Amino acid sequence: MVDTYMIHPAEKIKERIIKRYNSNPDGWRIIFGKDNYGHYNTAITQETDIWIIKEEQINPYKHVGFGTEISTDTDIFKKISPYTFGLRPVSDKQIDNLSKGLNLRNKKFKDIFSDIMRNNPVSIDEIDSSIVLQGPIVSSERTTNIISQKNQELDAKLRKELKKLLYKKYPQTLNPYS
Under DSSP, is residue 32 helix (H, G, I), strand (E, B) or coil? strand
Rounded-to-integer distance, Cα 112 and Cα 95, Å: 9
pLDDT at 94: 85
Q: What is the CA radius of gyration of the chain?
A: 19
Rounded-to-integer distance, Cα 23 and Cα 144, Å: 26
Judged on CB neighbours under 10 Å (0-12, 13-18, 19+), 150 is exposed
Q: What is the mean pLDDT of residues 35-43?
A: 90
pLDDT in tens, 120-168: 999 999 998 889 999 998 887 766 555 555 677 888 899 999 999 999 9
Tell me the whole-structure pTM to 2 decimals.
Answer: 0.83
pLDDT in tens, 64-90: 999 999 887 766 677 777 789 999 999
Rounded-to-integer distance, Cα 128 and Cα 84, Å: 20
